[in-house]
């Protein structure tokens, strides 16, 4: 088992090396050994899964533990909860059939029944009698009906997704890693480490515009709503149908681009490398940026002046998202802050909560790139682990949803669209990349989508067409569009739709049950006294630490 962990760590370090801009000869040699290490890992896992082993392939022991935790959880998911009244009724019937009643007890029961009938005439109706009243409904009965309806809806949704088909389109043009994507109508806008922002027309899979102007890698994008674009267009004497895109870069600039012309209409110098941004559509509108040093800043959409600068996090801000007047920021060290926009000219952001890595449980992440997606009182967090973390941001309570049936899975991004939660998963052991779909709000696993030679997915965007079909775009080493095909059509899909039975058995866990497993992926390799492991791999241990991906982007 120790060698398995060492191989997993080396593969993780190789994946982090591959997204660096420049590589030394030593690093290239390590990358060339990836296939060899994966083959050796597969052999060891096969040996561990033999009949002499009880835990099976590495990770199965943890999976069975997680399964037991879910089954014993006091608050099971709706689909796991059989109707209480039916169980109660069945138990009574089975007991009545299994145990014959003696004659003396029958006479005694007849007497008690007569006494009971006399009491009914003088005593008020009990709760059980109320439930029998056909003119009224028992709350337990209503709850049972609601659970049955939810389970039926989930079963129907799962069946429809199992039959879904997608066509793939590769958008070729970037010559480096795609770090961010956003969808605007039928357009996809992508930002890359090659310093460019590109605009793509999805129906024809063609590049429309190449927006060059940044001198550093593009790290983040955001699309203001149409009504705020209209205000800016009026001030610039452009068409009121003009759409704008915001791009942030390691060159310390936020640029505002007009999509129709491809021109940069405004550039904001932030004095810090911009690593995350979002647009807050409240009052006159605000641009919120995060920096590589942990600073969160607010900028007026009306005047483009700085309204506020706060040293909010200890490490780089890697994700910022808005939800109404609320702003959520996540950082490389695993902390999450929740802000309220008070719509003022000075200091509009008021800190509501800050949850450190000790609370979120995201300590010592594999690549220090936290991605978040808020929904109501919950925030879904992806942090390079084999699961998704759920933070209840008002209370600090946490839970997690399994996103891979083995510990070699890496989750890089999470996204919501409609009633779906979509997360990426990359298997370090075999190099396979998938998209996992969950139904909301229960976070029940639906299906996984995979396709040949799918690279590690570092960013994701989603939207629906006028007919209600899904279109998604994934970014990383490739920029790929997934277009949902009509279910009634005869055309074959390019995407494989499958179900991972290991994820069915471990849907959601409370954090208290899994606290001991937090740092499963962040083991140390200090006992490696064999091969060149200790010397040649430990020099890049920091690269697999909290800021490796971000450093790659900012170079």
pLDDT at 134: 47
**Pseudo-torsion of CA 34, 38, 39, 45, nearest 10°?**
160
pLDDT at 136: 54
pLDDT at 413: 94
Domain positions in the chain: 2-58+524-554
Burial of 318 (0-12, 13-18, 19+ CB in 10 A): buried
pLDDT at 23: 64
Q: Are 119 and 58 in contact (CB under 8 A)?
A: no
CA distance to 53, 226, 230, 343, per residue, from 284 (Å): 63, 13, 12, 8
pLDDT at 231: 92
pLDDT at 232: 94
pLDDT at 20: 56
- Dihedral of CA 530/532/533/539: which sign? positive
pLDDT at 490: 76
What is the pTM (predicted TM-score) of this model?
Answer: 0.74
Q: What backbone torsions phi and psi does residue 461 show, to the nearest 5 degrees?
A: -140, 155
- E strand residue ranges, 100-205: 165-170, 178-184, 187-192, 196-201
Q: Between helices 139-162 and 84-98, what is the axis angle to 10°?
A: 110
pLDDT at 81: 40
Strands of 326-331's sheet, edge to edge? 317-323, 326-331, 336-341, 349-355
pLDDT at 364: 58
- E strand residue ranges, 193-335: 196-201, 206-212, 218-222, 244-249, 253-258, 263-269, 274-280, 286-291, 295-300, 306-311, 317-323, 326-331
User: For the chain, what's the residue count?
Assistant: 555
| Interatomic CA distance for residues 2 and 363, integer angstroms | 22
| Interatomic CA distance for residues 80 and 85, integer angstroms | 15
- Dihedral of CA 296/297/298/299: which sign? negative
Does a cis peptide bond (omega within 30 degrees of 0) precede residue 441? Answer: yes
Query: Could you read off the pLDDT tens digit of each residue along the chain, which spans 555 residues?
Result: 677 778 777 777 777 666 654 567 887 788 788 788 878 777 777 777 655 433 333 344 444 444 444 444 444 333 334 343 344 444 444 444 444 444 444 444 445 555 555 544 444 444 444 444 544 556 677 778 888 888 898 999 999 999 999 999 999 999 999 999 999 988 999 999 999 999 999 888 899 999 999 999 999 999 999 999 999 999 999 999 999 999 999 999 999 999 999 999 999 999 999 999 999 999 999 999 999 999 999 999 999 999 999 999 999 999 999 999 999 999 999 999 999 999 998 999 999 999 999 999 887 544 578 999 999 999 999 998 899 999 999 999 999 999 998 888 999 999 999 899 999 999 988 889 999 999 999 899 999 999 998 999 999 999 888 788 899 999 999 999 999 998 777 788 899 999 988 887 655 555 544 443 444 333 333 434 344 433 333 333 333 333 344 444 444
């Amino acid at each position: 088992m120790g060698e398995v962990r060492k191989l997993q760590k080396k593969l993780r370090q190789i994946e982090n090396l591959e997204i660096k801009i420049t590589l030394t000869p030593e690093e290239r040699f390590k990358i060339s050994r990836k296939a060899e290490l994966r083959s050796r890992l597969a052999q060891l896992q096969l040996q561990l899964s033999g009949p002499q082993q009880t835990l099976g392939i590495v990770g199965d022991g943890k999976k069975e533990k997680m399964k037991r935790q879910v089954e014993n959880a006091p608050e099971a998911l709706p689909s796991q909860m059989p109707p209480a009244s039916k169980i109660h009724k069945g138990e009574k019937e089975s007991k009545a059939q299994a145990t014959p009643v003696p004659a003396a007890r029958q006479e005694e029961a007849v007497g008690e029944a007569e006494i009971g009938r006399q009491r009914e005439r003088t005593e008020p109706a009990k709760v059980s009698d109320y439930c029998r009243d056909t003119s009224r409904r028992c709350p337990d009965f209503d709850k049972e009906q609601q659970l049955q309806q939810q389970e039926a809806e989930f079963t129907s949704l799962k069946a429809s997704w199992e039959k879904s088909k997608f066509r793939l389109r590769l958008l070729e043009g970037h010559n480096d890693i795609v770090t961010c994507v956003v969808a605007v109508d039928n357009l996809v806008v992508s930002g890359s480490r090659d310093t460019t922002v590109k605009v793509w027309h999805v129906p024809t899979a063609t590049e429309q515009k190449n927006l060059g102007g940044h001198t550093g890698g593009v790290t983040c994008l955001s699309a203001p709503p149409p009504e705020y674009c209209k205000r800016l267009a009026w001030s610039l004497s452009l068409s009121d149908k003009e759409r704008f895109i915001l791009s942030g870069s390691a060159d310390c600039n936020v640029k505002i681009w007009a999509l129709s012309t491809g021109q940069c209409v405004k550039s904001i110098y932030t004095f810090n490398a911009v690593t995350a941004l979002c647009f807050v559509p409240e009052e006159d509108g605000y641009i919120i940026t995060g920096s590589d040093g942990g600073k969160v800043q607010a900028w007026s959409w009306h005047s483009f002046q700085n309204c506020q600068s706060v040293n909010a996090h200890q490490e780089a801000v890697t994700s910022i998202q808005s939800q109404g007047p609320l702003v959520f920021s996540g950082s490389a060290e695993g902390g999450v802050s929740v802000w309220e926009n008070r719509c003022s000219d000075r200091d509009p952001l008021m800190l509501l909560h800050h949850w450190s890595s000790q609370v979120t449980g995201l300590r010592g992440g594999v690549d220090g790139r936290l991605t978040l997606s808020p929904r109501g009182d919950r925030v879904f967090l992806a942090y390079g682990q084999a699961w998704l973390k759920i933070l209840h941001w008002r209370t600090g309570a946490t839970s997690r949803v399994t996103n891979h049936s083995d510990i070699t899975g890496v989750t890089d991004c999470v996204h919501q669209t409609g009633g779906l939660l979509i997360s990426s998963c990359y298997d370090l052991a075999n190099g396979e990349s998938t998209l996992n779909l969950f139904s909301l709000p229960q976070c029940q696993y639906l299906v996984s989508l995979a396709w040949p030679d799918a690279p590690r997915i570092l960013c994701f965007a989603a939207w629906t067409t006028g007919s209600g079909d899904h279109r998604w775009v994934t970014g990383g080493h490739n920029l790929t569009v997934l277009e949902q095909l009509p279910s009634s059509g005869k055309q074959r899909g390019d995407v494989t739709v499958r179900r991972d039975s290991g994820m069915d058995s471990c849907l959601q866990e409370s954090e208290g049950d899994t606290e001991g497993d937090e740092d499963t992926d962040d083991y140390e390799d200090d006992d490696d006294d064999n091969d060149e492991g200790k010397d040649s791999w430990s020099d890049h241990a920091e690269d697999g630490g909290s800021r490796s991906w971000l450093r790659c982007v900012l170079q």
